[in-house]
Amino acid sequence: MAQALRVALAGLGTVGGGVIRVLDENRELITRRAGRPIEVVAVSARDRAKNRGVDLSRFAWVDDTASLAEAEADVVVELIGGSDGPALALARRTLAAGKGFVTANKAMLAHHGLELARAAEAAGQPLKFEAAVAGGIPVIKGLREGAAANAIARVYGILNGTCNFIVSKMEAEGRDFAEVLAEAQALGFAEADPSFDIDGVDAAHKLSILASLAFGTAPAFGDVAISGIRHLLAADIAEAAALGYRVRLVGVAEADAHGLFQRVHAHLVPNDHPLAHVTGATNAVVAEGNFVGRLLFQGAGAGEGPTASAVVADLIDIARGEFGPPYAMPADALATSGAADSGERRGRAYLRFAVADRVGVLAEIAAAMRDAGVSIESLIQRGANGDGSVLVAIVTHEGPERCVAAALERLRGSQSLMGEPMWMHILG
Amino acid sequence: MAQALRVALAGLGTVGGGVIRVLDENRELITRRAGRPIEVVAVSARDRAKNRGVDLSRFAWVDDTASLAEAEADVVVELIGGSDGPALALARRTLAAGKGFVTANKAMLAHHGLELARAAEAAGQPLKFEAAVAGGIPVIKGLREGAAANAIARVYGILNGTCNFIVSKMEAEGRDFAEVLAEAQALGFAEADPSFDIDGVDAAHKLSILASLAFGTAPAFGDVAISGIRHLLAADIAEAAALGYRVRLVGVAEADAHGLFQRVHAHLVPNDHPLAHVTGATNAVVAEGNFVGRLLFQGAGAGEGPTASAVVADLIDIARGEFGPPYAMPADALATSGAADSGERRGRAYLRFAVADRVGVLAEIAAAMRDAGVSIESLIQRGANGDGSVLVAIVTHEGPERCVAAALERLRGSQSLMGEPMWMHILG
């Protein structure tokens, strides 16, 4: 039997414990598949005394996480999280020490992925991050390798399980956002501070990683246009349903002559699209290649088992020696693409206004649309809400997004509007 | 720039031409991703004169396909097809010559995969076959690598695009099998001799490959229980719909204490299952892992572009040096599992009988079920068909399959039955 791959593990939260459990429970199978054993040899976490349900006494304990880089190991697995701080320090020090690095840390990759890829390439060591996007779904591998023969025109998907759990529960039960969020928090599907999830930041981190792999461009998290689901009403979901759509928070990245376009936004997804059937905390990613057509990858986007499964898959690749440049090509070969102007994009939009129930409001909205050059496909006005407002929902014909933006600008500050309008894109 | 990976290509049909087009159109991108150019240097096909829409003059032409193994190439790509004959001869000779081998030939792998894997391992060369299963979908990679950390309990999916095209068209248009098959043939979605597809053999070839990767067992095509969709009626699809199901031809492989179970059979798929939404020639594969949960891979299962995309993905892996044992572990480490007895399986079944419209028939069927220990969940009898028969559709409670088989055995030869009963399994 070949020599074991020795692993040092930083972070013993849910996923860290999961990695130990996967390696324990599937030991024989993993050894056969990897061609050699994969052994955790050292661990580091904040609290040594905490009961994690796994026996840690067989591992060397390292108090100072960053010094795991010097443990007697071949690979360091980082499951601490956070874009900077200890995680980044450990990544830099590990790669500088000429060891492999595996991480589930999307925030760190979104901000520092290119630097770390360069360091890994310089060291001739692996930097792998399957668990950073879409949990257990092998979509990093799917893009880096499975779809590698294709020019990818677009990659998009449901990248945040918390949001999808909330939206699909709102949909199934006809309930409003705040109420369902509270329930998701009670069930452990949403954090106490949920803003990274519900405001789209987490999905944007993941999208920037997918975009880089799909298009061969340097990661550009700063160019992602981000919004979330905080202002979504049960009524929006009901209107969408009446029109043949479901609402999903979708991250979309597209590369064309205008540059690289990246956006996380609530979308109306046609009922016959596979993403419309993705419910609960499930994630799904679609890649559109110029030869392969539409590929869909779907599965559990988070959680102990799925995320640990992805981390260990990376370790198996490393044990097999089957790895190469982290972003599929050398970091210096990645193109730098300017951010595309969303105004130039064409599409159909859903707009919803909460308006005062009085004469002339509809005319005001219709005039703003007309004056901005937005062509209306359908308009529904529903009776008064509890707060005296009336909902007006519009679906536009296909047109440039700048016209929609201009129409909303015209309506800004209008006395007729109660609260911010809701603008969703229709997935085409 | 590193040295090019030199490719010899056997077979210039749809997929062979597609491979050349992918390498031409995406040349720059593929070179960046592979780290070096991938160059076709020699080709062989039956008819040199045939116009294939690609310029062949830049490649060496080899008349005797088997001697491509001695061309000045690093890898031979085989797109001839057929389980034995020239394809197998070429595979053996190529690997014996110490060169890599890439194939889309599911029949050859189903019958000779283990021998070829041994030869590849002995030569230290790649044997890759992403295109052999589910066209452009990277499901071989998904199982071999993406889900490698998991014990897989079950792998199943829609593996034949022709059947799914026919079944979903029958469903959408309420038409019968023969009529839709004729139309599929006219459209090029079904072969002139469609039996390999519609009788389930093609799906069974693919299933045996998936099972081997999923369970770490030697390929056992001979143990696949195979049936197709020839006897499916529009009425079956309508009854299934009324009960909340869609009909799909599904290949299922499962490993448990009873051994390895492999079956291609028409199934009732619950409406809320992702496979229920797979229509047309699309393929989809689900793998259930003990940590990752349910993974779904979906995309185009056949056709020039998707299949060529998978072939070139294999070439890119080879160019990168990212390959290992074909079946994820050395061929000699694959377990040999006995075939599980389907009678021991538990599940729910759909049974449909065409019966004579006369007194006592229902009692006869009900008695056969009772005497065999089959518990009936629902029974629907619909009025007479054109031929004077009446359809009786039964859904059973969960129970052992041997009881259902016994009930059908009791009814065999009954004067009341007109034609063979239809037995479908309900996907659980």
Q: Do B81 and B37 belong to one domain? A: yes
The rounded distance, in Å, linking the Cα atoms of A80 and A60 is: 18
Q: What is the mean pLDDT of residues B97-109?
A: 98
Query: Percentage of residues in chain B with pLDDT exceeding 90?
Result: 89
- Give the whole-angstrom CA distance, residue A24 versus residue A57: 14
Q: Is residue B305 part of a domain?
A: no
Residues A50 and A80 in one domain: yes
Contacts of B34 in chain A (CB under 8 A): 148
- pLDDT of B15 reads 95
Picking from B309, B332, B355, the residue at the C-terminal end of a domain is B332
Which two tokens mark B125? 């060369």
Coil, helix or strand at residue A361: helix
Indicate if the pLDDT at residue B428 is higher than 70.
Answer: yes
Is B25 part of a structural domain of the chain?
A: yes
pLDDT digits (tens, 9 = 90+) for B214-257: 999 999 999 999 999 999 999 999 999 999 999 999 999 999 88
What confidence score (pLDDT) does residue A273 get? 95
Does residue A309 sit within a domain? no
Asked whether residue A150 falls in the same domain as residue A17, the answer is no
Which amino acid does the sequence have at B221?
F
Q: Name every chain B residue with its beta carbon within 8 A of the beta carbon of A313.
A: 145-149
Sheet holding B60-61, edge to edge: B60-61, B38-44, B5-10, B75-78, B100-103, B127-128
Give the CB-side neighbour count of residue B123, counting CA atoms within 13 A. Answer: 23
Residues B166 and B200 in one domain: yes
Predicted ipTM?
Answer: 0.95
Say yes or no to pLDDT of B383 above 90: no
State phi, psi for A98 to the nearest 5 degrees. Answer: 75, 35
pLDDT-derived band at B364 (thresholds 50, 70, 90) equals: very high
Q: Are residues A125 and A149 in the same domain?
A: no
**Per the domain annotation, does B75 fall within a domain?**
yes
Catalytic residue among A99, A128, A169, A206: A206
Q: Which CATH number fits the domain that encloses residue A120?
A: 3.40.50.720
Residue B50 lies in a domain: yes
pLDDT in the model for residue A47: 87
Of A332, A355, A374, which residue constitutes the final position of a domain? A332
Domain containing residue A352: 346-426
* A:B CB pairs within 8 Å: 209
Is B43 a known ligand-binding residue? no
Confidence of residue B143 (pLDDT cuts 50, 70, 90): very high
The answer to whether residue A115 is domain-embedded is: yes
Residue B47 predicted with pLDDT over 90: no
Residues B373 and B325 grouped into a single domain: no
Mean pLDDT of chain B: 95
Domain total of chain A: 3
Question: What is the structure's pLDDT at B1?
Answer: 61
Residues of B belonging to the active site: 206
Whether residues A143 and A131 fall in one domain: no
pLDDT at B390 over 80: yes
pLDDT for B375 equals 96
Which residues on neighbouring strands pair with residue A393, listed in sequence order?
A: A352, A380
Give the CATH number, domain containing residue A398: 3.30.70.260
* CA-based nearest distance B78→chain A, Å: 18
Helices A304-320 and A27-34 cross at an angle (nearest 10°) of 30
Residues ≥6 apart with Cβ < 8 Å to A227: A199, A200, A264, A265, A266
| Residues A270, A193 share a domain | yes
Residue B274 has pLDDT above 70, yes or no: yes
Residues A18 and A77 in one domain: yes
The answer on A290 and A232 residing in a single domain is yes
Instruction: Sort out which chain A residues have CB atoms less than 8 A from B148's CB and list them.
Output: 30, 33-34, 312-313, 316-317
What does each of the 428 residues of chain A score in pLDDT, given as a tens digit? 689 999 999 999 999 999 999 999 999 999 999 999 999 999 999 888 888 888 899 999 999 999 999 999 999 999 999 999 999 999 999 999 999 999 999 999 999 999 999 999 999 999 999 999 999 999 999 999 999 999 999 999 999 999 999 999 999 999 999 999 999 999 888 888 999 999 999 999 999 999 999 999 999 999 999 999 999 999 999 999 999 999 999 999 999 888 999 999 999 999 999 999 999 999 999 999 999 999 999 999 999 999 999 999 999 999 999 999 999 999 999 998 889 888 889 999 999 999 998 889 999 999 999 999 999 999 998 877 677 789 999 999 999 999 999 999 999 999 999 989 999 999 99
Q: Are residues A271 and A180 in the same domain?
A: yes
Q: Are residues B214 and B276 in the same domain?
A: yes
Of A297, A300, A308, nearest to B297 by CB-CB distance is: A297
Residues 6+ apart with CB under 8 A from A198: A162, A163, A166, A181, A190, A228, A229, A230
Question: Which candidate from B272, B300, B317 shows the least CB-CB separation from A293?
Answer: B300
In the structure, what pLDDT confidence band is assigned to residue B341 with cuts at 50, 70 and 90? Answer: confident
pLDDT band at B349 (very low <50, low <70, confident <90, very high): very high
Q: Does A161 show up as a binding residue in the annotation?
A: no
A100 annotated as ligand-binding: no
CB < 8 Å to A21, chain B: 291
Could you tell me if residue A313 is inside a domain? Answer: no
Mutate to test the interface with B, among A30, A121, A145 (most CBs of B within 10 A): A145
Cα–chain center distance at A90: 23
In a domain, A316, yes or no: no
Q: Is A269 annotated as a binding residue?
A: no
